[in-house]
């Protein structure tokens, strides 16, 4: 059995964050923190031992999710997955993030993405098929999706 993921949620809408936390825990993973702004997220990167941070692009303090992802990338402590209804706001280089889960997401879609991410973080590359609704960044496509032989 693969070790469950420790997840940090960076989301300023309380209902969405609580729903996401519930879905993550139902899938067998744990939530190690919740930030509502880029400042809180940056402060938490060093104080939590998260494997993955689910980061909304637009937070209470503006469109700062990309800055959060870049900070996490520099810290090398947690991998980032964007969660947004507007993936066009993500830069082409994904700011170092693994990928994006488009909102609105389904319980099945999120569960599949969590399984895929768990495999990718714990035993890369993932064995599962890339889930519908989850888009890998170009950098992770090259290492997580095997090329056809």
**Residues 2-25: tens digit of each pLDDT:** 999 999 999 999 999 999 999 999
Condensed to tens digits (0 to 9), the pLDDT of residues 70-118 reads: 999 999 889 999 999 888 889 999 999 999 999 999 999 999 999 999 9
CA proximity to 78, closest of 110, 54, 56, 94: 54
CA proximity to 121, closest of 12, 17, 11, 29: 29
The neighbour count for residue 91, using CB atoms within 10 Å, is: 12
User: What is the distance between the alpha carbons of residues 29 and 5, in angstroms, rounded to a whole number?
Assistant: 5
Q: Is the pLDDT of residue 148 over 50?
A: no
- One DSSP character per residue, 16-51 reads HHHHHHHHHHHTT-EEEEEESSHHHHHHHHHH---S
Q: Is the pLDDT of residue 149 over 50?
A: no
Tally of residues, the chain: 149
Note the pLDDT of residue 76. 87
For domain 6-144, give the fold: Rossmann fold (3.40.50)
Where exactly are the structural domains of the chain?
A: 6-144
């Amino acid at each position: 059995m693969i070790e469950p993921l420790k997840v940090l949620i960076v989301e300023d809408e309380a209902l969405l964050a609580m729903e996401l936390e519930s879905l993550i825990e139902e899938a067998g993973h744990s939530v190690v923190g919740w930030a509502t702004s880029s400042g809180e997220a940056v402060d938490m990167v060093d104080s939590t031992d998260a494997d993955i941070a689910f980061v909304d692009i637009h937070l209470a303090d503006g469109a700062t999710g990309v800055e959060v992802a870049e900070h996490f990338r520099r810290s090398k402590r947690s991998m980032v997955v964007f969660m947004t209804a507007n993936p066009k706001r993500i830069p082409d280089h994904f700011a170092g993030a693994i990928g994006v889960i488009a909102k609105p997401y389904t319980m099945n879609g999120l569960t599949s993405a969590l399984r895929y991410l768990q495999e990718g973080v714990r035993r890369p590359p993932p064995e599962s098929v890339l889930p519908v609704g989850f888009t890998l960044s170009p950098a992770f496509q090259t290492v997580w999706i095997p090329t056809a032989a």
